[in-house]
Amino acid sequence: MTRSPTSPARRRVLALAGGAALLSPLALRPAFAAEYLTIATGGTSGVYYPLGVALSQIYTKAIPAAKSSVQATKGSVENLNLLEAGRAELGFSLGDSLSDAWKGEADAGFKVPLKKLRTLAAIYSNYVQIVAREDSGIKTLADLKGKSISVGAPKSGTELNARALIKAAGLSYKDFSKVEYLPFGESVELMKNRQLDATLQSAGLGVSSLRDLAASQKIVVVPVPADIIAKVGDPAYQSGVIPANTYEGQTSAVPTARIQNFLVTREGLSEEMVYQMTKAMFTHLPELVAGHAAAKGISLKDAPLNSPVPLHPGAAKYYREAGVLK
């Protein structure tokens, strides 16, 4: 007995039945691709890096759709260029570097204006901390002349701060016996070995590199007077104070320059993702403070203010929801 060929109608019924068999409950759920969040930070002995690690841990728990990772970098300038190139989703930056990036200041490390940058939050302030070995004889900015100094990685945010303040003090790199362009930890190691007289580090208060140095030898924290800060001529530079006992043996408060830090993202990240990133940071601030005490300087009411680049719409959405932005 021969079978009759399956009719077209029957074939359609069988196809639908087979398709339904393949649609398990899991297959019926909407599929969301994970979003990768690379956080560009700084050297491992600075403040950006431990805060980036803490932020990554917060995002991993609070945003299940995000896969977060941390990248150690040379700091602000590299971070902003990585963001513009689409090679990072979040980065730490000093305010003056962010302004230079937006304008495309070639001397600061930005060949063209970086117009994809968007702010997520103004965070804590960096303090320019010029620290000398006590036996170097350095007590003032003028005393740095003829001495050896490290000014941070080339064209990092720290090095840009160094250039501005050294110039305002009437000095130039040519006035030093030696200038090293090194990350914080390496600068401290040279000072411990008496191969360097001083280091300039732009960082949050209590940076681990300087705590390490102060624990191993006597130091002098060199003051940066208000009149020198005014001569920089950049509103990003404000007067600040390094409180007494920030570092071992530093028994008096020391005036210096401070510069606002920002968390920066970029155009192209979804409004919803940046909203979730902003919300997660502010609802888990104690965990960020546990990553580094500098995070105590982060304030929700100040977070949407004073950025030289536009706020990301996702961040603005959270600030409106939180009642700190109209």
Which three-class secondary structure state does DSSP give residue 16?
helix
Residues 148 and 194 in one domain: yes
Q: What is the pLDDT of residue 124?
A: 95
What is the mean predicted confidence (pLDDT) over 145-174?
A: 94
Confidence of residue 33 (pLDDT cuts 50, 70, 90): low
Of 216, 232, 259, the residue that ends a domain is 259
Q: What is the pLDDT of residue 2?
A: 42
Q: Tell me, yes or no, whether 55 lies in a domain.
A: yes
Q: Tell me, yes or no, whether 12 lies in a domain.
A: no
Rounded distance between C-alpha atoms, residue 45 and residue 224, angstroms: 23
Residues 91 and 132 in one domain: no
Q: Tell me, yes or no, whether 7 lies in a domain.
A: no
> How confident is the prediction for the chain on average, in pLDDT?
90
Of 227, 243, 259, the residue that ends a domain is 259
Q: What is the pLDDT of residue 16?
A: 39
User: Residue 200: pLDDT above 70?
Assistant: yes
Confidence of residue 153 (pLDDT cuts 50, 70, 90): confident
Residues 218 and 72 in one domain: no
User: Considering its fold, how many domains does the chain have in total?
Assistant: 2
Is 0.85 topped by the overall pTM? Answer: no
User: Residue 229: pLDDT above 80?
Assistant: yes
Question: 204 vs 32, 158, 233, CA distance in Å?
Answer: 38, 12, 22
Q: What is the pLDDT of residue 45?
A: 85
Q: What is the pLDDT of residue 155?
A: 79
Q: Tell me, yes or no, whether 109 lies in a domain.
A: yes
CATH code of residue 141: 3.40.190.10
Rounded distance between C-alpha atoms, residue 179 and residue 279, angstroms: 42
Of 215, 243, 259, the residue that ends a domain is 259
Residues 118 and 132 in one domain: no
User: Residue 259: pLDDT above 90?
Assistant: yes
Which three-class secondary structure state does DSSP give residue 270?
coil
**What is the percentage of the chain residues whose pLDDT exceeds 70?**
90
Residues 236 and 269 in one domain: no
Confidence of residue 220 (pLDDT cuts 50, 70, 90): very high
Which residue is it, tokens 């920030």? 246
Rounded distance between C-alpha atoms, residue 211 and residue 205, angstroms: 10
Q: Tell me, yes or no, whether 28 lies in a domain.
A: no
Token pair, residue 194, equals 């008496």
Residues 217 and 153 in one domain: yes
Q: Tell me, yes or no, whether 74 lies in a domain.
A: yes
67 DSSP β-pair partners? 36
Strands (E), 233-273: 237-242, 254-266
Q: Tell me, yes or no, whether 5 lies in a domain.
A: no
Residue 211, Cα to own-chain centre: how many angstroms? 20
Token pair, residue 150, equals 């490290």
Residues 135 and 248 in one domain: yes
Q: Tell me, yes or no, whether 27 lies in a domain.
A: no
Spell 209-235 as b/e; 16+ CB within 10 A means b.
bbebbbeeeebbbbbbbeebbeebeee
The answer to which of 29-38, 55-64, 137-146, 260-269 has the lowest mean pLDDT is 29-38
> Could you tell me the residue range of the domain that residue 309 belongs to?
35-124+261-322
User: Residue 109: pLDDT above 80?
Assistant: yes
What is the mean predicted confidence (pLDDT) over 24-30?
A: 33
